[in-house]
Chains A and B, each alone.
Chain A
Amino acid sequence: MNLCVAKEVSVRVGAKLILDNVSVSIAAGEWVSVVGPNGAGKTTLLSVMAGLRTASGRISIDDRDLKELSPRERARLLAYVPQHPEIPPGMKVSSYVLLGRTPHLSFLGMEGPDDFRLVQQVLEQFDLATLGQRTLESLSGGELQRCHLARAIAQATPIIFLDEPTTALDLGHQQQALDRIRRLREEHQVTVVMTMHDLTLAGQYSDRVILMSEGEIAADGVPSEVFDPDRLSDLYGAHVKVLNIDGHLAVIPMAEY
C-alpha cells in the first residue's frame, strides 16, 4: 500500500524548472533514499512531499491530499528534519524534543502528562535522557543529530522526511545515526524518506533509491539496479566504481591519474 504519492509534481523558480513533472510513490514501511548530484532537485522534492513548498501537481499522504490539510493535520501525518535545523540559543534538549508534540496539542494548548511521558521515552531511546537539561548549543554534532531525530519521532507520524541526516557527521556518527534510524523504523514501523549524498550509505541502508538529475528521476529501484557504474559516472561527471563486498554495495569515486 502506498503511503505517500507525488503525482506530476513540478516546481519552477523564475525561468528554471527545479522539478519537472516528477511522480513518486512511497510504500508504507519503506526506507527510500533520494540521491543525485548537487542541484538535481533532491531537497526540493523532499520539501514538496513534506508539504512545505508549493508545487503544481498532487501530493497525498495516506490518501489525503496535502493541500486540503491544515498545517496541524499535515504535521500529524509527517515529520520533517531539514539539512541544517535551527538551534535556538539557550533551549534545553528536553524542551526541544517536546516541541515535536505541537501538532498533537489543542489550539494554543500545553503538553499534558502523556506528552511528557512519551517524550521521556523518546529521550531514553535516543540516549538523551541524561542530556535533557543541557542546552542545544552545548552538544556535539552527533548529539545534536540525535536531538533532531528525537523531535521528529516525538511528533509520532507514520512518515518522516530527513534532508541529508548525516551531513557534518564523521564516519562513525553517520553509521550510528543510520543504525538508529533503522532500529526506530523497525520498532515504530515508520516510513523514512531521506536525501543523501553518500551513495554507499544510501545503498547499504535503503530499501530503494531514487536517483535524480536536473529535476527529473533518472532511475528508481533497488540500490543494486540503480547504482550502475556507467550511469553514475555519467550523471556525476566522475569516474565511479560500484563494488559488492559481502553483499554490501560500495560506490567509490576513482581518481583518474
Chain B
Amino acid sequence: MRTESSPPRCTHPRAASLRSEKLGAPGLLLGFVAILVAASAGLLIGPAGIDKTAAIMELLDQIPFISVDSGLSQIQKNIIWEVRMPRVVLGALVGATLAISGASYQAVFRNPLADPYLLGAAAGAGLGATVAIVTGSGDGIGTFDLVPLLAFLGALTAVALTYTLGYSSGAQRSPAALLLAGVAVASFLTAIQTFIQQQNVDTIRQVYSWILGRLNTASWDEVSLLAPYALVSTFLILMYRRTLDVMRLGDVEASSVGIRPQLVRLVVICAASLGTAAAVAVSGLIAFVGLIVPHTVRLLVGTSNRIVLPLSILFGAAFLVMVDLLGRSLASPAEIPLGVITAFCGAPFFVVVLRSSKRTLG
C-alpha cells in the first residue's frame, strides 16, 4: 500500500492545478468588489441629499494618514456615521449571516431548498417578537425594547425544540426526521403567533412591519448586538467548510472516510441557528436571502462548500445592503419592507435555478 513516509514536494503541474481550483480567487475578488460597490452606494445615496463628493471626502478623511476637509456640517456627518454607516454595516452582517447559514443548512441536510428558517427559527422569532410587541414592551424606544431579545430567544428555543423532537423521532438515522420536526414546530408556533396577533389587532401593523423585515431602526447598538454572534457563527461554519463537502457523500460514506456526520450536523446547525437567531432579532424576518445567495454563488463558482461558504458571506452582505438601498429609495420617503423585495427577487430567481438545476442543486 502506498505510504506517505517520504512524500516529495508538490511539483507536478497537474497537482498544482488541483490545488488552485480550491482557491476560487476570481470569485473572492468579485465578492469584495460587490460588497465595496454596495457599501459605497448605501453610504452615498439617501434622502438627506448630501453631496456625494463631500461624502466620499468624509469617508477618506477617516483613513489613517489621509486628512481632507469634506466641508460637511456636523449634522450631515452624523447622518453618514450614525444613520447610514450602522445601517450598511447591519445590513451586511444580517445578509452575510443569513446567506452562510442558508448555505450550511443546505449542506448538512443535502437539500437545496433548506433555508435558515427550516428548523423553526423564523416561527420562534416571530412568536417572541409578537409577544414583545403586544405586551407593549417592544416599541423600539429606549433600552427596554424586548423585541430583539424575545425574538432571539424564540428562535433558539424553536430550533432546540425541533432538534429534541427530531432526535426522539429517529433523526440519528435520517435527517429527514429533523426536517419534519421543523415543519411541525414551525406550524405550531406560527399558529400561536397568529392567534396572539388576532387577539391584539391594534398592534397588527407593528407585528407585520417586523415580520416583513426592516433595517430602519439600525444603530451601532444593534450592530454590537449582532456582531459577536455573527462572527462566532461564521467562524465555526467556515472551520467546517471542507467537512461539509465530505457530508455531501451522505452519512454512510462520510462515516467511512472518518467523519462523524451527526456531530458535524449538530455543530453546524447550532452555529447557523445562533447566527440566524441573532440576525432575525435585529432585522425581523427577511426571507429568501439564505436561498438566493448560496444558489447564485453555486451558479457562478460551482458547488464546493470551501468556496461557496466564504463567497456567500460576501455576496450575502452585498445583496442585503443593495436590497435595503432599494427598499428606502424606490418609494422614498416611505420604505418598502426588505422581505417584500427579497421575496420579489426570489420567485423569478427560482425559475433560473430550476432551469439550471442539474448543475446547482447540491
Contacts and interface: CB of A to CB of B under 8 A. Distances in A.
B298 interface: yes
Given A71-B258, A137-B358, A92 B21 contact: yes
A75 B18 contact: no
Contacts of B12: 117, 120
Interface in A83-142: 85-86, 88-92, 94-95, 98-100, 102-105, 108-114, 116-120, 123, 129, 132-133, 135, 137
Interface residues of B, number: 44
B362 A133 contact: no
Nearest to B8: A117
Given A116-B15, A156-B2, A52 B252 contact: yes
B19 to A, nearest CB: 5
Interface residues of A, number: 55
B255 interface: yes
B77 interface: no
Given A108-B240, A113-B10, A118-B7, A50 B246 contact: no
B190 interface: no
B2 A188 contact: yes
B61 interface: no
Contacts of A42: none
A190 B1 contact: yes
Interface string B250-264: 101101111110000
Interface SS of B by simple majority? loop
B9 A113 contact: yes
Which of B1, B242, B359 counts the most A-chain CB atoms under 10 A from its CB?
B1
A75 B256 contact: yes
Which of B17, B249, B256 counts the most A-chain CB atoms under 10 A from its CB?
B256
Contacts of A155: 257
B252 A82 contact: yes
B255 A120 contact: no
A189 interface: yes
A80 B252 CA distance: 9
A123 B12 CA distance: 13
A174 interface: no
Nearest to B247: A88
Contact of B10 (A90, A117, A135): A117
A89 B362 contact: yes
B298 A90 contact: yes
B214 to A, nearest CB: 35
Contact of B362 (A82, A90, A110): A90
B257 A75 contact: yes
Contacts of A92: 21, 302, 304
B18 A119 contact: yes
A88 B250 CA distance: 9
Interface string B135-177: 0000000000000000000000000000000000000000000
11 contacts: A52-B252, A70-B258, A73-B258, A82-B253, A86-B253, A88-B362, A89-B358, A95-B21, A99-B245, A100-B257, A137-B358
Interface of A: 47, 50, 52, 70-76, 79-80, 82, 85-86, 88-92, 94-95, 98-100, 102-105, 108-114, 116-120, 123, 129, 132-133, 135, 137, 153, 155-158, 188-190
Interface of B: 1-4, 7-12, 14-19, 21-22, 239-240, 242-243, 245-246, 248-250, 252-253, 255-260, 298, 302-304, 358-362
